[in-house]
Amino acid sequence: MSQPKTKRRVGKYEMGRTIGEGTFAKVKFARNSETGEPVALKILDKEKVLKHKMAEQIKREVATMKRIKHPNVVRLYEVMGSKTKIFIVLEFVTGGELFDKIVNHGRMREDEARGYFHQLINAVDYCHSRGVFHRDLKPENLLLNANGNLKVSDFGLSALSQQVRDDGLLHTTCGTPNYVAPEVLNDRGYDGATADLWSCGVILFVLLAGYLPFDDSNLMNLYRKISAAEFTCPPWLSFGAMKLITRILDPNPMTRITISEILVDEWFKKGYKTPVFEEKEDTNLDDVEAVFKDSESLNQENHVTEKKEEEQPTAMNAFQLISMSKGLNLGNLFDGEQEFKRETRFTCKCPASEIIHKIEEAAKPLGFDVHKKNYKMRLKKVKAGRKGNLNVATEIFQMAPSLHMVEVRKAKGDTLEFHKFYKHLSTCLDDVVWKTEEDMQETK
């Protein structure tokens, strides 16, 4: 396979494809060129951070996260910066999202759900004891590693999706309020610890029930249900599980159950083992202060020179291809039954320019604004759905001179709405998608 003409490096890290996007940040897959270790590289726009007066808060939380080395929290390795960007190097977790298990297989047995809840509470308790609060716990932030263990991502960095207003308090700006505590929705400021715990209760309910405790297509009705803690536990839950969920989903943060009380709850204690892990105190924090300085003040280790993007599809080597799959089995990369995923891929033998034209033709009649930059596209739905405006990002990779891989992922909005869009796109692209002889036989 051909290599890209230029490679963008951040220190010792070689940058690859985009694997996530948000209001303030973009996350790219990267590889440590010295060890070969895969990492996730979170890229922040320094101008946006400074504009929203978040620099000091980010410095503080990044410094704290560097000290947090817990088996159920995604590790933060180091921070680098340029004149315009901040680069946060994070552990790359390959097992997908915990939420995918629910959507694909339905609700969990109580023992299985309890095991994941043990890990979630362990992570939350550890971070709270060090003054770090998530503020935006939801399924997208609960990942699984290759061994199936829970990893909470963005712990302490979720403030990047928050805005501090003139009153000096935090105010949530997330588009999916189903997991948010009543005091957060009241918009009067809130305590991070009790708000996190409410979100943990919603997550436990979803694991055990298979659906959300608070859900309504009308946003005002949803807010009312959350504020009143208006929910009903399904009949298959044990009394112990119902009791714990009810104590967590207490709309009054002053009387809501605390983590110390959860740890002695009879339902929670079943099968619980206190986590044992080694902590190291010799964390170097020099890079945290350095990233907000001008590029001239940064040393070589923390500085990256920004380059223009290539004017041809990014070439993908074997290592990058494997990194997109769970393990070494590449079959799930191009599986036609990729249900309930936030990204999907297909291969195509036609020129990259033709692929872009086809995607544009499919998206515009559905009410999407199309923004193109080289061989990447951003499709923005003009009309808002139940979870805001759907944004879809696409990127074309060159696997061989006459073979391309197209990645389509949800950047923002409702996952189910994204799947409806992808099914329509699949129909429109049916004549250009590369099929094997076996695929052709199956369609006959």
Give the separation between CA 240 and CA 317, rounded to whole angstroms. Answer: 51
Catalytic entry in 45, 111, 125, 136: 136
Give the separation between CA 295 and CA 84, rounded to whole angstroms. Answer: 8
Count the residues in the chain: 444
Contact by Cβ (8 Å): 365, 428:
no
Give the separation between CA 344 and CA 410, rounded to whole angstroms. Answer: 9
Give the separation between CA 357 and CA 312, rounded to whole angstroms. Answer: 15
The dihedrals phi and psi of 302, each to the nearest 5 degrees, come to: -105, 10
- The tokens describing 7, both together, are 């490679």
Q: Which residue intervals of 24-179 are DSSP H helices?
A: 46-51, 55-67, 98-105, 110-128
H/E stretch holding 219 reads: helix 219-227
Give the separation between CA 314 and CA 373, rounded to whole angstroms. Answer: 13
Q: Which residue intervals of 385-436 are DSSP H helices?
A: 415-428
Would you say 42 is a known binding-site residue? yes
Is residue 439 annotated as part of the catalytic site, yes or no? no
Which amino acid appears at position 246 of this protein?
Answer: T
Q: For the CA atoms of 404, 407, 408, 413, what is the dihedral angle to 10 degrees?
A: -160
Report helix, strand or coil for 143.
Answer: strand
Of 294, 307, 402, 314, residue with least CA distance to 354: 402
Residues annotated in a binding site for ATP = 42
Annotated binding site: 42
Give me the active site residues, please.
136
